[in-house]
Chain A
């Protein structure tokens, strides 16, 4: 008993420096993230500015009702989840493919050029991306309708009223914009892989494809799992700019572009009701949280060390 205590004390002493290192970050998280979390209470109140967060009347789940009351609830949930799944799967596949390819290229000058340029789309704000998309797709002044389609002898297409194209357009835009960013994260892991493994593999007669399959991808596995788990936590969220501004808020496209975020924005615009807005946020967080718990549990069963927590 005494011995155990002593060893625990010694153990803690040994780890004290590690805990101390975490203090500044933990303090920051408490200030920046945990204290404001008290604001979640707003979602259950009829928020009154004069009375403040603590004095406003409690009204239970009433603020959440608007999210479920209509037929649209199904459409916006479906859209949000399906797009996110597509973004996670395709985004990861493309980013890894490009990172691997980049890693295989010998010329360091070329590498530098490629890396810089694929990051360009990430630097442009989504509002400007929406103007760019418009520059291509506009019915009467867009590059595609005015230059490309006539050159191919095809009829112009009314892009902003034709919903069938938009799932592809939105996925394409998302990949275009996020590719460089995701690719860099994977690339950073790749360049950290011990070259020795590859040399050993070459000696064993492994070809390039086998090297990728047996060395590169397993090395990326922890990063892939981590990034995917984090993305699952955000599965009920959507990039407002991508779904609202890029389709130019065009009504006929709403069935394929309306997500939870845009629905909330359209519904609450000029209603000036932060309680309902924060209810929507709590709902999104909660679902994400539950999904992550499940996913993390599964990962823990399969390979404990890659679990998030």
Chain B
């Protein structure tokens, strides 16, 4: 029995290691390309062992276009504030929905789900946010549109609540005289750490990786988040690929198209902070398991 368990662990770990390689190998190629000298990259093709190492892509990003640091700080602030706001709204909405006895539950769930299917498109949202709420070129533009609460995460949380929180627990708390808010805060939330941490991670990623809000609502460089800055470079290439007349006109200018190395460095710079921070989140998963065990 012990032996079988051990061999299972070996096989399971082996499969996971293969999977990790599958996910990481392209990322390694990404990093290597970002430090390969441009000419040798174009001439020799992509390779895991660079012929000539060259950090000029990073130098360009960090030194020459100096706004990167400010972009990082802005992104960090937006991510933290946005995640807290989102989780507050999401939890407050998901909990009542998870209550089987709530009158009008189906209608409310439909009200929520409907927003996933239909949207009026960019133009009406833009008009509303800029003309009614005047968020253009303010930090609110990075926080409010689209990201502050989404049906997807509310439904995920509701599903978790319905399946993992027994009605009896809530009933017991009510008999003890606790109000609904108190039940949510003191009983339900502690039992839901795994989903809260998971959603915090996913929402946080959503805010960190978002550049559309920056693209539509910001055109002052002091409010460019890191992803906006990085994506701008990639977007200029896209634009030139689809617009030959501007491309021809730009030929003679000092307009330097980002080289392959810079494109790759851009990706690394956007992903790296998350990779550094992510492991810190993980201990909460472990905590989630313990709580799960205790509750039974």
Where the two chains meet, the residues of A that have a C-beta atom closer than 8 Å to any C-beta of B are 11-12, 15, 17-19, 21-22, 24-26, 28-29, 31-40, 42, 53, 98, 101-102, 104-108, 110-125, 127-128, 131-132, 135-136, 138, 140-143, 146-147, 176, 179-181, 184-185, 187-189, 191-197, 208, 219, 222-223, 226, 230, 233-234, 269, 274, 277-278, 281-282, 285, 288-289, 292, 305, 308-309
Where the two chains meet, the residues of B that have a C-beta atom closer than 8 Å to any C-beta of A are 8-9, 12-13, 15-16, 19-20, 22-24, 26-27, 29-30, 33, 41-42, 44-48, 88-90, 92-93, 95-97, 99-100, 102-103, 106-113, 115-121, 123-125, 127-128, 144-146, 148-149, 151-152, 154-156, 159-160, 162-164, 179-181, 184, 192, 194-195, 197-198, 201-202, 205, 209, 231, 234, 238, 242, 260, 263-264, 266-267, 270-271, 274-275, 278-279, 282, 285-286, 288-289, 292-293, 295-296
Can you show 29 pairs from A to B with CB atoms below 8 A apart? A24-B89, A26-B93, A29-B149, A32-B146, A32-B149, A33-B115, A33-B119, A36-B121, A42-B121, A98-B16, A104-B8, A105-B13, A105-B16, A114-B16, A115-B282, A119-B278, A123-B275, A124-B267, A124-B270, A125-B209, A131-B264, A135-B33, A136-B46, A138-B45, A188-B198, A189-B163, A233-B117, A285-B118, A308-B113
The chain A residue with its CB closest to the CB of B179 is A17
| B contact face: mostly helix, strand, loop, or mixed | helix
- Contacts A141-B46, A179-B23, A194-B293 known; 6 new A-B pairs at CB < 8 A: A37-B119, A37-B120, A40-B121, A114-B16, A141-B45, A142-B45
What's the nearest-Cβ distance from chain B to residue A208, in Å? 7
What's the nearest-Cβ distance from chain A to residue B293, in Å? 4
Neighbouring B residues of A281 by C-beta, 8 Å: 119, 121
What's the nearest-Cβ distance from chain A to residue B216, in Å? 13
What's the nearest-Cβ distance from chain A to residue B95, in Å? 6
| A contact face: mostly helix, strand, loop, or mixed | helix
The chain A residue with its CB closest to the CB of B165 is A192
Decide if B124 touches A38 in the complex (CB within 8 Å): yes
Neighbouring A residues of B97 by C-beta, 8 Å: 22
Neighbouring A residues of B162 by C-beta, 8 Å: 222, 305
The chain B residue with its CB closest to the CB of A140 is B45
Decide if A128 touches B263 in the complex (CB within 8 Å): yes
Decide if A116 touches B24 in the complex (CB within 8 Å): no
What's the nearest-Cβ distance from chain A to residue B24, in Å? 6
Neighbouring A residues of B111 by C-beta, 8 Å: 26, 29
What's the nearest-Cβ distance from chain B to residue A95, in Å? 12
Q: A248 vs B177: C-alpha distance in the bound complex, in angstroms?
A: 63
